[in-house]
Amino acid sequence: MDLTTAAGLWLAVILSGLYHGLNPGMGWPLAVSSALFERRRSALWPALGALSVGHFAAMLGILLPFSMMTLLIDYQREIRIGAGIIVIAMGLYLAITRSHPRFLARIPPHRLALWSFLVALAHGAALMLVPIYLGLCALDELDAGHRAASALMATTALALGVAVLHTVAMISSGGALAYAVHRWLGLQFLSRSWFDLELVWALSLVVVGVVGVWTAL
């Protein structure tokens, strides 16, 4: 893999994290709500921390199984195509249904880490990283003698690195927006300035899946 391609993929990890963080569906309004309910700005940070823990766990929960699958090096191309198709299917499903899973509404507000974990799975946020992650693996460049020995450690460490970097970007943008809303913009910002991102989110999944399939081919 050339440096330009690798840099582009790592940039995609960061940008997708920033995108997830800005999306109110990933939970930053809950951090604002927590601070307003407790009437202290410092309550933002534990809430954002809980959201980041849940998001990080969801990223690893999806990426680690794919890191195991990359041990099937001879089928790496098929795995990348299959992952891209799954992401496209998830995007199309969300674009058609346009509904939130009802079980998310039954989670108590204080269980933000659990909520963040489940919403990242239910809305395909973790799946969005899979084509990018598989593009970074580039296991076909290893010689036969080193493939089996290093593949598991390399891909697991890569999955961890991708999840960490993505989550840091996610909570940075979401935290900055939550702080700005609580400190300066106020709740009016949500009703006057925001717009429904459900369709945009679904289409972004489709785009990422298509790019993943195209690069594999």
Single out the residue of 201, 177, 84 nearest to residue 135, CA to CA: 84
The one-digit pLDDT tens for each residue of the chain (217 residues) are: 567 777 888 888 999 999 999 888 888 888 888 888 888 888 899 999 999 999 999 999 888 888 777 666 667 778 888 888 999 999 998 888 866 666 676 777 678 898 889 888 888 888 888 888 888 776 455 444 444 445 555 677 888 888 999 999 999 999 999 999 888 887 776 665 555 567 788 888 898 889 888 888 7
| Measured distance CA(62)–CA(120) in Å, rounded | 10
Task: Find the helix packing angle between 3-22 and 144-180, rounded to 10°.
Answer: 30
Give the global pTM.
Answer: 0.81
| Measured distance CA(151)–CA(29) in Å, rounded | 40
